[in-house]
Amino acid sequence: MTSQPPPMHPGAEAAPTCYRHPERETYVRCQRCERSICPDCMRDAAVGHQCVECVQQGNRGVRNARGMFGGAVVTTPRVTWALLIVNVLAYLAEIADPEGVIGRFATWSYGIYQGEWWRLITGAFLHAPLTSSWSLSHILFNMWALYAIGPTLERRLGSLRFAALYLLSALGGSVAVYLFGDVAVGASGAIYGLFGALFVVSRKLGFDARGVLWLIGINIVLTFVVSGISWQGHLGGLVTGTVVAAAFVYAPRGSRNAVQLSAVVALLTIMAVILLTFPPHVVIA
């Protein structure tokens, strides 16, 4: 007959606690160092969890992943969502004070000529005033297009390059309005730039781009058929976005960052020279 050990009573052994928070009881251990960690100190790993320090040590020896065109890998298209939010907030501001917002921030050639440079970009975040019969459809179409193709382009190009593409396309549309138009509002110049970029990226990756060409063609026809649309802003944005995207995706791998940055600087310089050299169409007239 063998003797049995005495039964364990609750509290006979101290429960394990988090190495960073000794007051917290936990039964989870780091997969690398095997220290006990509480939920606040857990970081998801390929298997189980790791502590904060082990994750930091592991990241020091890992290079940041890069996308196919040099940008950082994008999992959540934050720039696209931010642009959507800014456009919607600007539209709400229009609803609150339509005359004040549009009067001060619309893309207006003579105002830009007089030194109101902010109109070059702020007008691209406004939309048709509420007095227009297609005010709501204007912003709905542009935001639908941004929602539909923005995340794809942002994931392909990276957030920083996508932001540069969008803003340069918006500027290109505004410069075209400055040269050949009068007053305009809307994100259409930037959206048309995204259309052009989608075509370039699709061709570069070997995808069938005929659907994108149809999309561009139909919208160009509508630009000249439907009254009240700024063809200057649309075509200016389309050309600019196509050029920017081509510079981004066809830059040689060995000097990709330098070529892409040079293209952005060159386009900004050309736009600045145009604005400083030529008067707007409304002044010539």
Instruction: Look up 262 and say whether it is catalytic.
Output: no
User: Residues 188, 202, 227, 230: which is the catalytic one?
Assistant: 188
User: Residues 49, 127, 138, 234: which is the catalytic one?
Assistant: 234
Instruction: Look up 21 and say whether it is catalytic.
Output: no
Distance CA 282, CA 254 (A): 46
Of the chain, the end-to-end C-alpha distance in Å amounts to 114
8 A C-beta contact, residue 261 and residue 268: no
Q: Tell me the β-bridge partners of 66.
A: 72
Active-site amino acid positions = 188, 234
